[in-house]
Amino acid sequence: MTDRIDAVSGDFFESVPSADVYVLAAIMHDWDDASFIRILHSIKSAAAPGARVVLIEGLVPPGDEPHATKLIDLTMLGMNTGKERSATEFAELFTAAGLTLDRIVPTPEQYSFIEAHIP
């Protein structure tokens, strides 16, 4: 499988190479909403229709129950302009960037898989 995967470094605010799938793990929570959308616009500009974006991020559950992502949300606010997001917030940001949110796959741990595609 290593012949089909490339790990690429660079500045995703500037440009990214064309790919079929983009996987960003624990990246988007570092950024405010405007920067989140800029990153997705950069991907959308490079990718062909049908390309997929998979985020591996914490997901803030609804309600007032304690949850690890709510504490991490406060930490992110104190460290930078980032934040943890709810399913609704992810959907709104993907829509604002012109992508289609396909599904969110929760895991028993703090991270979930958030999958979207370029229409």
The CATH number corresponding to 21-117 among 2.170.190.11, 2.60.120.200, 3.40.50.150, 2.40.370.10 equals 3.40.50.150
pLDDT tens digits for range 17-45: 999 999 999 999 999 999 999 999 999 99
pLDDT of residue 108: 80
Cα–Cα dist 66/46, whole Å = 39
Catalytic residues: 29
pLDDT tens digits for range 59-109: 987 777 776 776 666 677 767 888 989 999 999 999 999 999 999 999 888
pLDDT of residue 74: 64
